[in-house]
Amino acid sequence: MAKLNQIIAVEKGVKSGALRDLTDAHHGLQKPALLAGISRVYQPKDEEGEQLPPESTRVQIKADEVIRRTASVMTRLFDVTATKDWANCTAKADVTVDGQAILRDVPVSYLLFLEKQLTDLHTFVKKLPVLDAAEAWAFDDSADCWKTEPVRTNRTKKVPRNHVKAEATEKHPAQVEVYYEDIAVGYWTTVKFSGALPAKRINELLDRVERLQRAVKFAREEANGAEVTDQRTGDAVFRYLFE
């Protein structure tokens, strides 16, 4: 008895072959010259008349034969697809992570859905914002986010000062140069807040997603290993269509 993964493996080839044969049959039937035949025999009016050989063209394509051949090819496709779809209704497996069943009796179609969604979620988690590693962060319950310890810094103000380069004399005024001095006038106390996540937390989330991804793939392989019952739908369909 075949297994579901074997049916899935051959379905693509059967489908492409059936489509190719159906297209070839359709194109052949659109060529009237291949469907037509003729037979001509010449007879002179009297015995002295010119003798000509007979002429004939054979029919190269017969619609009934094309229909029978097409029905046979398409019947195989119908049967393979039906076998797969019927099996998908019963093929199930548990999704198990570290010995714990996260989901039980999951059908193949949903396992395929999970694989796609987990790929998107992996991208989402990988791009989560990370806390700046240059700062020391602690979670603040009252603010419901991360914060740093207070850092105190001076607030300064530039105050002009005079520097006497040369004292005044009877003949010349004093030479004075103005410069500015930073004078502390107050203090800033700064606390930074962030809604990002610690790198450790993001790595933990990525690990969870990846473990579940592996579990889902394993479950799909297990479900696809289920034995299938061959379905015979093609004969019924084409008997109705072409008989």
Rounded to an integer, what distance in angstroms lies between the CA atom of residue 131 and that of residue 93?
39
Does residue 107 contact residue 223 with C-beta atoms inside 8 Å? yes
Residue 76 CA, chain-centre distance (Å), reads 30
Collapsed DSSP state (helix, strand, coil) of residue 124: helix
Tell me the per-residue pLDDT of 129-173, one tens digit each, with 9 for 90 and over: 999 999 999 999 999 999 999 999 999 998 888 887 777 777 778
List the structure tokens of 92. 């199930």
Rounded to an integer, what distance in angstroms lies between the CA atom of residue 135 and that of residue 199?
13
Rounded to an integer, what distance in angstroms lies between the CA atom of residue 150 and that of residue 25?
81
Question: Where is pLDDT greater, at 24 or 123?
Answer: 123
List the structure tokens of 222. 């297990």
If pLDDT is split at 50, 70 and 90, which confidence band does 9 have? confident
Rounded to an integer, what distance in angstroms lies between the CA atom of residue 174 and that of residue 211?
82
The residue ranges of every structural domain in the chain are 1-40+52-91+228-243, 94-136+197-224, 150-190
pTM for this structure?
A: 0.68
Residue (of 163, 183, 165) closest to 175 by Cα position: 165
